[in-house]
Amino acid sequence: MEKSGRAAFEFLHAHGAIVTPTDLKFHDIAGFRLQTDELLDEEWDLMVPSPGVPLDLPAIVRATARGVNVVGDLELAAPYLLGPAIGITGSNGKTTTTSLVGHILRYAKTPVQVGGNIGTPVVALTETSRKDQWNVLELSSFQLENINTFRADVGVCLNVTRNHIDRHHTFANYAAAKANLFRTQRAGDFAVLNSDDEVCRSFAEFTAAQVVWFRGRDIGDLMPPEDVPIPGVHNAENVMAAAAVAEIAGISKANIAAAVRTFQAVEHRLEFVAEIGGVRYYNDSKATSVDATLKAIDSFAGKLWVILGGKDKDSDYTPLREPLRRKAHAALLIGSAADKIASHITGATDLIRADTLDCAVAETWKRAKPGDTVLLAPACSSFDQFQSYEHRGRVFKELVNGLHTAGLETTNGATA
C-alpha cells in the first residue's frame, strides 16, 4: 500500500467511513487485512483500488458486477477538491510540465498547490484546497481510466505514444483512458492540446471545452530557445504547454518567460548528477517508456553510454536502434527486460550485459572516456529490481557519487 492507498485510507477515515485497508503484503495500519479473493468478495459499499491495481482484476470485475462502487483516488477526491483544477496528462513530460506550471504560478504570486501522480496524492490535496487556489495535477492513464465526475477546468495532453500496454492491453484502450480527461469537461473549460500529436488532435473532436493548441516549435514566440534551462526538443513542447496553461490562469507572457528562466529540471528527469574524470552522468530514471528514452537520447549530441532495462511493459524497443547507432558507444542492459531489448537492438551498437545497475555504473567507469556521457534512460518500469523509478534514480545517483572514492575529480552539479 503506497502513498495513494494510504492517503485514500486517511481521507475515508477522516470522513467517517469504516475502512478496511488491504494489500498483498502486511502493513501496520489500523484495521488492515491481507488481500485475498475472499476478502474482496465480501459485501462492500465502496472499493478504492490504488492506481497501480488493474481494474480487470477478477475480484474487482466481480465487485463491479455486484454493484459495488469502484472508484479511483481521483474520483474519490473530486467532490471535495476546492478551486479550479489543471489536469496534465501525456505519455511523456507530465512531471516536468506539472512542476513547471506550479513554478510559473508561484513565481507570479498566484495561489497554487501541486500533486496527483507526483508528490501529494489528490485526496490529500483536498484538505489544503481553497476556492481561490489552483490545483495542478499530474494525471496518469491509471487514474483517468474510470473517472465519471472529476472535471478539469483546464485539461492538458502533451502527447500519446505507446505505453503501459501490459496494463491497458491495446494502444486504443490506453489512448481512451487519456481521452477521459477531456470527455468530462464542459463549455467554459479549456483543453490544451499538442497540435503536432495526432492522438492529441483527435481529442478536440469530442470535448466540450475550448481548445487551445500549442507547439514546441513556437518556443521563439515566448522566449529565445537558448534561454530555456532544460535541454531537448521535447522540453520546448513542455514549456509551451505550461505557458498556454499559465496564460489561461491570467499570467502575462513576460512573467511566464521570466519564470521559465529560473526553472530547474525535476529530479530523475534529465537530471545532471556529476562529472567524473571528464565523463558526465545524467539520471533520467523517469524515462520508463521507449518514447521517453528516445527524447532523452535526442537531447545529447553523442558519445553516449545508455543504461537500458527494467520491467518490460510489452514495449517495442526497435525504434531505439537508429539513435543508438548514431549516438551511443554502447547500451548497458539491466533487469528482466534485458533479453528482449537485446533481441530488438542487436547490431545497432555494442551491448554490455550488466544485469544490475551497480554493475552498469561500474562498467561505465571502466570504459567511458573524457567527453563521454552516461545516461540512465531505461525505457522500462523499475519494478523488477526497485520500488519505483524514484528509488532507481536515487540508487543511480548514490552509485555515481560514490565513484569519487576512486580518487577521480568530481564536479557535483545542480539539475540541468
SS3 of residue 136 by DSSP: strand
Residues in the chain: 416
Mean pLDDT of 21-44: 90
Residue 164 appears among annotated catalytic residues:
yes
| Banded pLDDT at 303 (limits 50, 70, 90) | very high
Q: Which of 164, 168, 234, 286 is catalytic?
A: 164
What pLDDT does residue 1 have?
A: 63
Cell 492538458 -> residue: 156
Q: Which of 94, 268, 286, 295 is catalytic?
A: 94
Q: d(Cα 153, Cα 189) in Å, to the nearest integer?
A: 5
SS3 of residue 275 by DSSP: strand
What pLDDT does residue 416 have?
A: 29
What pLDDT does residue 412 have?
A: 42
Mean pLDDT of the chain: 93
Residue 117 appears among annotated catalytic residues:
yes
Using DSSP bridges, classify how beta strands 304-309 and 328-334 pair: parallel, antiparallel or unpaired: parallel
Give the tens place of pLDDT for each residue, 189-232. 999 999 999 999 999 999 999 999 999 999 999 999 999 998 88
| Banded pLDDT at 405 (limits 50, 70, 90) | low
Give the percent of the chain with pLDDT over 70. Answer: 97
Mean pLDDT of 259-273: 90
Cell 501496520 -> residue: 28
Statement: residue 27 has pLDDT above 90: no
What pLDDT does residue 350 have?
A: 97
Give the tens place of pLDDT for each residue, 324-372. 999 999 999 999 999 999 999 999 999 999 999 999 999 999 999 999 9
Q: How many degrees, rounded to 5, is the angle at CA 211 between CA 206 and CA 217?
A: 125
Give the percent of the chain with pLDDT over 90. Answer: 84
What pLDDT does residue 409 have?
A: 45
Q: Which of 92, 103, 117, 397 is catalytic?
A: 117
Statement: residue 391 has pLDDT above 70: yes
Q: Which of 74, 71, 49, 86 is nearest to 143 (CA)?
A: 74
Give the tens place of pLDDT for each residue, 92-121. 899 999 999 999 999 999 999 999 998 899
What pLDDT does residue 408 have?
A: 46
Using DSSP bridges, classify how beta strands 190-194 and 154-157 pair: parallel, antiparallel or unpaired: parallel
Residue 148 appears among annotated catalytic residues:
no
- All structural domains of the chain, each given as residue ranges with its CATH number in brackets, are 3-70 (no CATH), 75-261 (3.40.1190.10), 271-412 (3.90.190.20)
* 8 A C-beta contact, residue 190 and residue 207: no
